Structure 1
Amino acid sequence: MTEPVLTFTDRGIYCPAGDFFVDPWRPVERALITHGHSDHARGGHGRYLATDVALPVMRHRLGAIRAESVRFGEVRRIGEADVSFHPAGHLPGSAQIRIAVGGEVWVVSGDYKTEPDGLCEPFEPVPCHAFISECTFGLPVFNWRPQPEVMADVNRWWAANAAEGRVSILGAYSLGKAQRILANVDPAIGPILTHGAVEATNRVLRAQGIRLPDTHWAGPDVTGASHPGALVIAPPSALNTPWAARFKGASQAFASGWMALRGVRRRRGLAQGFVLSDHADWNGLNAAIRATGAERIFVTHGYTQVFRRWLADQGYDAGIVETQYEGDDAEQDADVELLE
């Protein structure tokens, strides 16, 4: 019996023909990385391979690593496997990894979204025999509005606060979501401030030629009084903290796919939430899977049980891969809110 192109181990997704892992969560000798988020790009590996756009952020986050980069579409021969990276649309440089062995093609999606966002390379379907897909938002209730509509809501919220002299603090992950918002928000409304974690990532991306509007680091001397009407982009963990309290009377909001569930926003103590995710929604997941032409689908991190059953009902040979990836946010206990 022919060995499968990929196997699933306690260290991560493994390719026997190439003797490498994809996004491993335990130290391995050779790791191919889909993107720079910490649940996919971890420290301790002997060698790394990632796209030329993703690697600078990985170096920023992981420090001194032994790594090589590839361009999208470039084919590398690793052992007996032909490997190439293709845009995933999740954040700048994020990739799906195509692995071909003996005429059989498997694709590991990493994290992906199918709606172009004006910041990163748009998602490209990759034909394959087997597709390993995330399903962070693998329930029909998750149905994203078009980005221009959501960003218009963000701009209206910010403009209304600015008209009252209030600061607007918007929680967004420091790699990807923050820059997506910056690339699409209206800078004419007022000054844009950034938490240190966001600004550090901005510097890395700007050095690669990625265009973002002017921002100002919200250091210790920056307050609501010094920058009335500003928009502050900060990691979600900074909301409702002493750091945020410096902007007295600020309106706080969070941009996440989980804002589609009312209970998540309530638990976070937020009056405003914007449903904006860097992951595919229900329709996006299904469209992406159909576009691959794959008959075998493996789903990981998210509503795996529900989504696997749905795929099986559609005629796919569907299975679940247990991984240590976390998806958009550690809020996956929130499905109870679907009953509201």
Structure 2
Amino acid sequence: MTAPLLEFNDRGIYCSQADVYLDPWKPVKNALITHGHADHSRWGHERYITHSSNVPIIKHRLRVTNVIGKEWNETFVINNVKFSFHPAGHIIGSSQIRVEHKGEVWVFTGDYKTEDDGISVPYEVVKCHTFITECTFGLPVFKWLPQAQVMEDVNNWWAENQAEGKTSVLFGYSLGKAQRLLKFLDPNMGKIYTHGAIENMTQVLRPQVDFPATTLITRETKKEELLGNIVLAPPSAHGSTWIRKMAPYVTGSASGWMAFRGARRRRAVDKGFVLSDHCDWQGLLESISATGAERVIATHGYSDLFSKYLRELGYDARTAKTQYEGESGEMDGKGEKEMESEEAVLNELNINVEEKL
């Protein structure tokens, strides 16, 4: 029996014909990397191959130099297997990886979203026979509002806190979410301050995107300077001595999990903004349909329920175990696992799984 073009083993997603791995979670010789988040881009590989816009991200985060950059749709061949990177729209530099051998085409999405966020190269549909998809938000209860509406709410929240003489502290991952928020904050309202982790990452990305000006918070920064302004911070800063010095402040968090009151309560934030760098339920289904794929492999997320629904639609769908973590893999430093359990989500919304799927 012929081995599949891509297979899952204890190191990652392996192409035996080319002897390369896609987003491996253990050290390997040749690693093709979709994007810079920690669960997909790990230290220790002999050679990294990724899209050119992701090269500075990997070099900054992993402190490595052995990184090769490719352009969008640029085909490169390894032992007669054709590879190419295609926009995933997840964060800056994020790619899908297309793999072709003897007329068979597989696509690995990594993480992706279909809404154009204004800073990442928008998601591109790539036709294939087998589609390896994340399903971080693979339940029908997830339906995102347009980004413009969410950012209007963020700026209005800032204005309300400003009127009360309070500092607005907004949490978002240092790579991806923070820059998406920054791009659409209204700089006319006041100064935008940043935590060091976000400031450092933003400086790496400034050559690629025109961001508003930011001011790094240092030991010399007085809390009086922050009043009425907004602070971008990673989730790991919540509850730290760093943030307690900013009182009086109001906290907000931007995440897909903010769709649920329970998630907001468990994270002890004053305001939740539902803004995700992953597809919602409809985005996943539309993306899969557009590829023309007959086979679908669901990885991280609500993979069991999602693949079950796909089989009911007529797809040859199954799940595969990986070490990818969706939005929880985008955490900065220590933090609780962000993914809500199926039981918690469905119980909170009083949804019967069988009826909904």
Question: How does the TM-score come out when normalised to structure 2?
Answer: 0.93
Query: Deviation digits for residues 264-305 of structure 1, max 9, x if unmatched?
Result: 110111121000000000011111111110000000110011
Work out the CA distance in 2 between the residues paired with 1:94 and 1:333.
24
Q: Distance in 1 between matches of 2:222 and 2:102?
A: 60
Question: In structure 1, the residue corresponding to 2:31 is in which secondary structure?
Answer: strand
Distance 1:40 1:265 in 2: 26
Q: Which moved more, 1:18-27 or 1:224-233?
A: 224-233
In the alignment, the residues of structure 1 paired with residue 269 and residue 59 of structure 2 have an alpha-carbon distance, to the nearest angstrom, of 34
What is the CA–CA distance in structure 2 between the aligned matches of 1:221 and 1:113, rounded to whole Å? 39
The CA distance in 1 between the partners of 2:338 and 2:233, in whole Å, is: 18
CA contact (8 A) 2:226 2:246 kept: no
Residue 5 (structure 1) shift = 1.0
The residue number in structure 1 matching 2:285 is 286
1:6-57: CA deviation from partner (whole Å, max 9, x where unpaired): 0111100001111100000001000000000010000000100001101101
- 1:53 corresponds to which letter in structure 2? S
Residue 338 of structure 1 aligns with which residue? 346
For residue 274 of structure 2, what is the aligned residue in structure 1?
Answer: 275
2:81 partner letter? A
> Matches of 1:142 and 1:224 in 2, distance apart?
38
Shift of 1:221: 1.8
1:241: how far off? 1.8
Distance apart, 1:162 and its partner CA: 1.2
Q: Helix, strand or coil for the counterpart of 1:117?
A: coil
Partner of 2:325: 326
* 2:334 counterpart residue number: none
SS in 2 for 1:325: coil
Q: Distance in 1 between matches of 2:10 and 2:80?
A: 23
SS of match in other structure, 2:263: helix
Distance in 1 separating the partners of 2:275 and 2:222: 27
Q: Residue 96 of structure 2 corresponds to which residue in structure 1?
A: 96
> 1:52 — aligned with what?
52
Question: How far is 1:64 from its partner?
Answer: 2.3
* Aligned residue-pair number: 339
Residue 166 of structure 1 corresponds to: 166
The alignment status of 1:14 with 2:14, answered yes or no, reads yes
Once the two structures are superposed, the pairs formed by residues 81-120 of structure 1 within 5 Å of their partners are: 81-120=81-120
Gaps of 5+ in 2: 329-336, 349-357
Residue matched to 2:150: 150
Question: With structure 1 as the length reference, what TM-score do the two structures score?
Answer: 0.98
Deviates more, 1:5-14 or 1:224-233: 224-233
Contact 2:58/2:64, CA 8 A, preserved across alignment: no
2:188 aligned counterpart, secondary structure: helix
- Aligned residues: CA RMSD: 1.0
Contact 1:47–1:65 (CA under 8 A) maintained in structure 2: no
What displacement does 1:3 show?
Answer: 2.8
Question: Which residue number in structure 2 is paired with residue 40 of structure 1?
Answer: 40
- Asked if the contact 1:166–1:224 (Cα under 8 Å) also holds between the matched residues in 2, the reply is no
One-letter amino acid of the structure 2 residue matched with residue 300 of structure 1: T
Unaligned runs of 5+ in 1: none
> SS state of the match for residue 53, structure 2?
coil
After the TM superposition, list the runs of 4 or more consecutive aligned residues in structure 1 that deviate by more than 6 angstroms: none
Give, in whole Å, the separation in 1 of the partners of 2:226 and 2:305.
47
In structure 2, what is the Cα distance between the partners aligned to 1:47 and 1:122? 27
Shift of 1:227: 2.6
Q: Secondary structure at the match of 1:331?
A: coil
Kindly indicate whether the alpha-carbon contact (under 8 Å) linking 1:261 and 1:334 is maintained by their aligned counterparts in 2: no
